[in-house]
Structure 1
Amino acid sequence: MAAQPEITQRDLRNKSKEIMDAVQGGQSFTVTRDGHRIGELIPLRRRRRFVSRREFAAMSRTAPDLSLDVFRADQEATADPYLGDPYDR
């Protein structure tokens, strides 16, 4: 994996449009100030909001079968029965 290019705080200020365009295009940067690494500028993952019927059907065919009884047992095993109402204080 290649190292992220470093940019100075000054470059970030003076070339913000070009840098933001690069981030939008998938590029990551390490930001430095006075020669010290202070942060990373990374693109956000984009979530797909739509899955076609064909894709959903294909994924469903290969999905494992679910047992409702096992699912409920897992929920019961992990749920804390002593949780109180967080709004009752």
Structure 2
Amino acid sequence: MSAQPEITQRDLRNRSKEIMDAVQGGQSFTVTRDGHQIGELIPLRRRRRFVPREEFAGMSRTAPDISLDAFRADQDRTAEQGTDDPYAR
């Protein structure tokens, strides 16, 4: 049994605005055709652009310590160290 409401392909076609408004509001649907489930209509997850300062500070307090020397060595191993500057003389 589906945890989200089922809508038929015909309902999706005939009530698309109403259904899309519900999806925009966070509702998910299982789409059926001829009584068979064929897909899901789900809202996209919204990515946060900013993290509140207090949340960042809280995460930072529990983050593991890093070795700056090891971090720099990792960067040096993965980054090309040669100069490919066509304007360099």
**3-state SS of paired residue (2:30):** strand
Distance in 1 (CA, whole Å) between partners of 2:72 and 2:29 is: 43
Q: Residue 57 and residue 10 in structure 1: after superposition, are their counterparts in 2 closer, same or farther (change >3 A)?
A: same
**3-state SS of paired residue (2:56):** helix
CA RMSD of aligned residues (A): 2.3
- Aligned position for 1:45: 45
Matches within 5 A, 1:60-71: 60-68=60-68, 69=70
Runs of 4+ in 1 over 6 A off after TM superposition: none
Distance in 2 (CA, whole Å) between partners of 1:7 and 1:26 is: 16
Distance in 2 (CA, whole Å) between partners of 1:56 and 1:70 is: 21
**Given residue 18 of structure 2, which amino acid in structure 1 is its aligned partner?**
E
Gaps of 5+ in 1: 80-89
TM-score by length of 2: 0.69
**Given residue 17 of structure 1, which amino acid in structure 2 is its aligned partner?**
K
Give me the identity figure in percent. Answer: 81
Find the structure with the greater CA-based Rg.
Answer: 2
TM-score by length of 1: 0.69
**Given residue 55 of structure 1, which amino acid in structure 2 is its aligned partner?**
E
- Structure 1 position 9, deviation (Å): 0.4
**Given residue 33 of structure 2, which amino acid in structure 1 is its aligned partner?**
R
